[in-house]
Amino acid sequence: MATPIIRSEKRRGRKATEQGFSLLEVVISMAVLTVGMVSLLGVFGLAMASTQNSQQNMIAKQLANEQYESVVTARNTSQMNWDQINNVGSTFCSSGASPCGIFLTGYQPMYNAGADGIFGTADDAASGEETLQDPGPDGIFNTADDTYIPLTNYKRQIAISPLYDGSGNLIPGLRTVTITIQYQTTQQKTLQTYIVNSFISEFQ
Amino acid sequence: MRDRLAERESGFSLLEMTVSLALGGVVLAGAVQMYVQGVQATWITTQRAELQQDFRAASNIITKDLGLAGAGLGNGAAIALPSNVTPVYGCSGTGGSQTTATCYIISTANPTGAVAYPTQAGAAYVYGLLPGYNDGPTLTGSSGPTDAITTVYTDSNFYLDCYTAEMTSTTTVTFTLPGATSANCTAPGGNAGAQAVGNSANGLTPGDLVLFTFGLNNVVGEVTTAPTGTGLTSFVANDVLKMNQGAAVANSLASMYVAPSNSVTGYATRLFVITYYIDNSTSTPRLMQQVDGHTPVPVAENVVYMKFTYDLFNDATNLPAVGCTNPGAASDGCSGASAGLLPNQITKINIQNMAMNSTLLGSQFGQGNGYQRMDLQTAVCARNLTYVNNYPN
């Protein structure tokens, strides 16, 4: 072992070529790196969450289309007359008594279509909520462990409004249909909406 | 000596070494853990993205095709077929022979894979939509069969309707462009817009079904030999779909050829009979699309379950029949007034469940369930069926 004096001299002598980091520097840099890495982990989580969200968004799209298609179906079969293709309480009734319309206003739970086969009407609640069949832990459908997941996370709103031409005159044979699906993302617990805007004509 | 030794002494002390190794170890362990999780997350995300692509492909193509069901089939969307032998769908084959046919819609109840068209009072009919209740395979371990679904519409991209179809024998039809554009011609620009009848990209090929209109009669034939340069096309008997039956059989193409004038003219369109079913013969179950008498093509992977219900509308009672599993059958599963309703009165197709499944790589993901899934649940209005069934106002 060198004596302290010699060592200190050596240290001074080595100073010019000493290139490494001190322990303190290493510890600090590691701490900085860790903070960086941890924030990167957050990005991972965000990426996973948005993949999940896009899946929910697709489901919302299916649910919105389902609603619109059932309005078109009802129009095509003339199961409903033109006055009935309105929100409940609507005063835009072309022939019958006012108010007309059978589509419930506001956000409604994801009920089944009910006895009339049309989503968004008053008889839906009696038929219960729509469910997705989950194959359960074995991953195989129609086995004893299947579960049925209600779509409690989603809500649906249908708004039917009159349409006016450029001069402000009511177009009697055409209405706009706006279907909004509102859902809560599973990870971030934020409310998202998926909106379908379309038209419905009196004529097929 | 000591001095020289001291001069070379330039390493870390034992303490420094131990502390730095310990620290390095901790950091490395964390980094490895992060790497492993990153790899797993990448795998899961890739798989989920793939599932979503499959989902999009499957839902887009199937909802589009179901919406077209019955387009171009005319009033009623039901065409009587020759029924000496009941014609079938879901088969392909070469050489125009039933014996070499390969059929695909295989279920436990129907191992041959050929599905007969529904019959009504002894005659087979092609409807705009053919429900395939329990026609699909039962997937491993599952306790129930899947559904198939068949949508029927005319080809609106190949303008065969511009041609005059003339029967030159009981088994041959010659397609010729008339001098002036026919009233039936839907091609933009008339005759000039009509593709050659033997066009390699979209012309007639063996296995295609053709819907002929001769006066008030609609008949269906299956092309057995592609058109020659003069438009001469064969529809010989013993075809894989059993459409070309003898001149004595009602509703057959051959029966349209009347002696003594020995020819009949009319016009034609190509008919698409498109069946969707699940094929579980490969390791990953796939959604398949099979058209007319052609070989099926895969549409999406990982489709493990498919079930439909149908809503119908009874014009006579003005009441809907909803949630039917098998419209037109004796046990149709409907709630509501469904008596006497047929598949061409379907107004809405509910995709009850079309599920995508993808198994994770074993239990290493610690997810318990070991798979990812997506469900398609939506409805499609059968626009072209309801349109012809009911014309209000």
pLDDT at B365 over 60: no
B30–A34 C-beta distance less than 8 A: yes
Q: Shortest CB distance from B381 goes to which of A30, A51, A73?
A: A73
* CB of A116 closer than 8 Å to CB of B320: yes
Q: Shortest CB distance from B55 goes to which of A58, A66, A78?
A: A58
A65–B379 C-beta distance less than 8 A: yes
B48–A51 C-beta distance less than 8 A: yes
C-alpha B304/C-alpha A141 separation (Å) is: 8
C-alpha B391/C-alpha A203 separation (Å) is: 9
pLDDT at B370 over 50: yes
Q: B371 to chain A, minimum CA–CA distance in Å?
A: 7
Q: What is the DSSP string of B182-230?
A: -TT--STTGGGGPPPTT-TTTS--TT-EEEEEETTEEEEEE--B---TT
Q: For B389, name the nearest residue in chain A, comparing CA atoms only.
A: A77
Q: Is the ipTM of this complex over 0.85?
A: no
Q: Shortest CB distance from A137 goes to which of B19, B141, B369?
A: B369
Kindly list the residues from chain B whose CB atom is less than 8 angstroms away from the CB atom of residue A150: none
pLDDT score, position A18: 63
* CB of B280 closer than 8 Å to CB of B139: yes
pLDDT score, position A15: 53
Q: Shortest CB distance from A30 goes to which of B23, B371, B375?
A: B23
- The edge-to-edge listing of strands for the beta sheet with A154-164 is A108-109, A154-164, A170-184, A191-201
Q: Shortest CB distance from B142 goes to which of A7, A30, A140?
A: A140
Kindly list the residues from chain A whose CB atom is less than 8 angstroms away from the CB atom of residue B338: none
Q: Shortest CB distance from B141 goes to which of A55, A140, A202?
A: A140
Query: What rounded mean pLDDT belongs to chain B?
Result: 85
> What is the number of CB-based contacts under 8 A between chain A and chain B?
164
Instruction: State the pTM of this model.
Output: 0.85
Stronger pLDDT, A141 or B194, i.e. the higher one: B194
For chain A, say whether B46 makes contact (Cβ under 8 Å).
Answer: no
The residue type of B267 is: Y
Stronger pLDDT, A166 or B316, i.e. the higher one: A166
pLDDT score, position A16: 54
- Report, as an integer, the average pLDDT of B150-163: 93
A187: number of Cβ within 10 Å: 14
For chain A, say whether B341 makes contact (Cβ under 8 Å).
Answer: no
C-alpha B207/C-alpha B389 separation (Å) is: 30
pLDDT score, position A93: 84
Highest mean pLDDT among A79-93, B136-150, B263-277: B263-277
C-alpha B138/C-alpha B107 separation (Å) is: 7
- Report, as an integer, the average pLDDT of B119-132: 91
pLDDT score, position B366: 44
pLDDT score, position B387: 54
Q: What is the DSSP string of B213-277?
A: EETTEEEEEE--B---TT-EEE--SS-TTS----TTSTT-SGGG--TTTT-EEEEEEEEEEEEEE
pLDDT score, position A32: 92
B139–A55 C-beta distance less than 8 A: no
C-alpha B295/C-alpha B266 separation (Å) is: 30
A115–B335 C-beta distance less than 8 A: yes
- Report, as an integer, the average pLDDT of B52-76: 88
Residue partners of A163: CB distance under 8 A and separation at least 6:
A170, A171, A174, A175, A176, A199
Longest dimension (CA), chain A: 111
pLDDT tier at B96 (50, 70, 90 boundaries)?
Answer: low
B379–A10 C-beta distance less than 8 A: no
Q: Which residues of B50-69 are buried (b: 16+ CB within 10 A; e: fewer)?
A: ebbebbebbbebbbebbbbb
A116–B6 C-beta distance less than 8 A: no
Any idea which residue has 């008997």 for tokens?
Answer: B237
Q: A104 to chain B, minimum CA–CA distance in Å?
A: 19
- Report, as an integer, the average pLDDT of B24-52: 85
C-alpha B45/C-alpha B36 separation (Å) is: 14
pLDDT score, position B118: 92
Share of chain B above pLDDT 70, in %: 90
pLDDT score, position A135: 77
Kindly list the residues from chain B whose CB atom is less than 8 angstroms away from the CB atom of residue A70: 348, 379, 381
C-alpha B152/C-alpha B274 separation (Å) is: 6
For chain A, say whether B298 makes contact (Cβ under 8 Å).
Answer: no
* CB of B305 closer than 8 Å to CB of B353: yes
B393–A203 C-beta distance less than 8 A: yes
A77–B320 C-beta distance less than 8 A: yes
Kindly list the residues from chain B whose CB atom is less than 8 angstroms away from the CB atom of residue A143: 141-143
Q: Which residue, among A197, A152, A187, has the nearest Cα to A48 in the 3D structure?
A: A187
Q: A194 to chain B, minimum CA–CA distance in Å?
A: 15
Q: Which residue, among B328, B278, B332, B327, has the nearest Cα to B305 in the 3D structure?
A: B278
pLDDT in 10s for each residue of chain A, 204 residues: 444 444 444 455 455 566 778 888 888 998 998 898 888 878 877 877 887 788 888 889 999 999 999 899 888 877 788 888 999 988 888 777 888 889 999 999 999 888 888 999 998 988 888 888 877 777 777 788 888 888 888 999 999 999 999 999 988 889 999 999 999 887 777 889 999 999 998 887
Tell me how long chain B is.
Answer: 393
B378–A62 C-beta distance less than 8 A: yes
Lowest-confidence segment of A11-25, A126-140, B109-123, B359-373 by average pLDDT: B359-373
pLDDT score, position B262: 67
Kindly list the residues from chain B whose CB atom is less than 8 angstroms away from the CB atom of residue A115: 320, 322, 335-336
Q: A114 to chain B, minimum CA–CA distance in Å?
A: 8
For chain A, say whether B232 makes contact (Cβ under 8 Å).
Answer: no
Give me the sign of the Cα torsion angle A159, A165, A169, A170: negative
Q: A16 to chain B, minimum CA–CA distance in Å?
A: 13
B347–A30 C-beta distance less than 8 A: no
For chain A, say whether B34 makes contact (Cβ under 8 Å).
Answer: yes
pLDDT at B4 over 60: no
A69–B390 C-beta distance less than 8 A: no
Q: A169 to chain B, minimum CA–CA distance in Å?
A: 23
Q: Shortest CB distance from A23 goes to which of B3, B19, B37?
A: B19
Q: Shortest CB distance from A142 goes to which of B48, B142, B392?
A: B142
Q: Shortest CB distance from A143 goes to which of B10, B141, B350?
A: B141
pLDDT score, position A106: 92
pLDDT at B130 over 60: yes
* CB of B170 closer than 8 Å to CB of B247: yes
Angle of helix B14-67 versus helix A23-77 axis, rounded to 10: 10
Kindly list the residues from chain A whose CB atom is less than 8 angstroms away from the CB atom of residue B280: none
Cα B147 to Cα B63, B67, B130: the distances in Å are 15, 18, 11
* CB of A117 closer than 8 Å to CB of A67: no
